[in-house]
Amino acid sequence: MNIVIVDSSRVVLKIVAGLLEPRGHSVHCFTDSAEALTFLTERPEIRVLITSLQVRPLSGLELCWSARLLADERRPLYVITMSSARNERTLAEALDSGADDFIDKPPCAEELHARLRAAERLTTLQDHLIRLAETDPLSGLLNRRAFFAEANQSADRAGNHGRLSMILADIDHFKRINDEHGHDIGDRAIQAVAKLIAEEGRAGRLGGEEFALALADTGLEAAEAVARRLCLKARDLRIRGNRGPVRLTCSFGVSTWTEGDSVEALVKRADIALYEAKTGGRDRVVS
Ligand code: GH3
Ligand code: MG
Ligand code: MG
Ligand code: MG
């Protein structure tokens, strides 16, 4: 597992890291709790935080609390506090501040390993549940809720200066594919289009045969080029049908971030463009 350890003493850090590294854990040590928090924020692969209660500039309890907020953002993070002065009050305070567990300082090796096994069971389960909750089972893309959550994070990063573009895609006359070839072939068509779109970036399935692609650091022209490429690739798809290969086309709407924009507004503009692509004859890109 990826583990962050925070303690004011380099000796303690060395002792704890010395217990963990031989067991194959990847360990990152900090004497400064604010630096540790920045590192945790930037590195979502960290699964366990082991922090002493007596650290600075953030106290151990403050660090626990901040780590808990990170963990609430769709991210498994197991927090273990460490103190040489274990008593009921510090234990209760640590747990109330968001810690999952508590160990003595310096920790006993057997106990530490057992507690980390518990941490691994829990974070593995959380990972699994988060993935299930975010994934559309048919296409393997992000589901609608997860797509909007991620797009909002990209938008926060884009701020007013960065660039972010949105592509909406919808399979043309999909009802006909279902009617003529059956629902299973329709499902196969959804999967084939999803795979094409996923090759271009973080994609979501917003509904039946409608997809969205958020392109970070991408302006309008580059996004239009991506949509045109997808439009051509969709034409070339051959879906395995019961009576030979089934062909399809898709329509695309493209929009780009402007100052003060919201993700909802960005998607709305792409949706209006998509509607124009449909009424304009389908199998095309409009922005
Ligand atoms: P347009 O070109 O205007 O987009 O026409 P369309 O027929 O593609 O559009 P419409 O949105 O009217 O039809 C979408 C159809 O998609 C209706 C619904 O039965 C079907 N559908 C929705 N979800 C699924 C799914 O998971 N699998 C399959 N096979 N069909 C689905
Ligand atoms: Mg429709
Ligand atoms: Mg359609
Ligand atoms: Mg549709």
Q: What is the pLDDT of residues 37-51, one digit of tens each?
A: 999 999 999 999 999
Averaged pLDDT score across all residues of the chain: 95
Whether 77 shows a pLDDT value over 90: the answer reads yes
The residue-averaged pLDDT of 137-165 equals 88
From residue 109, alpha-carbon distances to 16, 26, 105, 248 in Å are 9, 16, 11, 61
d(CA 28, CA 49): 10
H-type helices in the chain, by residue range?
10-20, 33-42, 60-72, 88-96, 109-134, 144-158, 174-181, 183-198, 220-236, 263-279
Ligand nearest to the CA of 211: 4
d(CA 207, CA 26): 40
Whether 209 shows a pLDDT value over 70: the answer reads yes
Whether 6 shows a pLDDT value over 90: the answer reads yes
Is the CB of residue 44 less than 8 Å from the CB of residue 75? Answer: yes
Q: How confident is the model at residue 161 (pLDDT cuts 50, 70, 90)?
A: low
**From 174, 181, 231, mutation site for ligand 1 pocket: most ligand atoms within 8 A of C-beta:** 174
pTM of the model: 0.86
Q: How confident is the model at residue 90 (pLDDT cuts 50, 70, 90)?
A: confident
The strand pairing partners of 166, in sequence order, are: 214, 255
Whether 75 shows a pLDDT value over 90: the answer reads no
Q: Is 175 in the pocket of ligand 1 (CB under 6 A)?
A: yes
Distance 125 CA to ligand 2 centre (A): 37
Q: How confident is the model at residue 83 (pLDDT cuts 50, 70, 90)?
A: very high
Report the C-alpha dihedral over residues 128, 131, 132, 133, rounded to 10 degrees: 120
Is the CB of residue 230 less than 8 Å from the CB of residue 283? Answer: no
Distance 175 CA to ligand 1 centre (A): 5
> What is the reported pLDDT for 259?
83
- Put the strands of the sheet holding 285-286 in their side by side order: 202-207, 210-216, 164-171, 250-256, 285-286
Q: Comparing 125-129, 158-162, 209-213, which segment has the lowest mean pLDDT?
A: 158-162
Q: Comparing 31-35, 62-66, 74-78, 243-247, which segment has the lowest mean pLDDT?
A: 74-78
Q: How confident is the model at residue 160 (pLDDT cuts 50, 70, 90)?
A: low
Task: Tell me how crowded residue 210 is: count the other CB atoms within 10 A of its CB.
Answer: 18
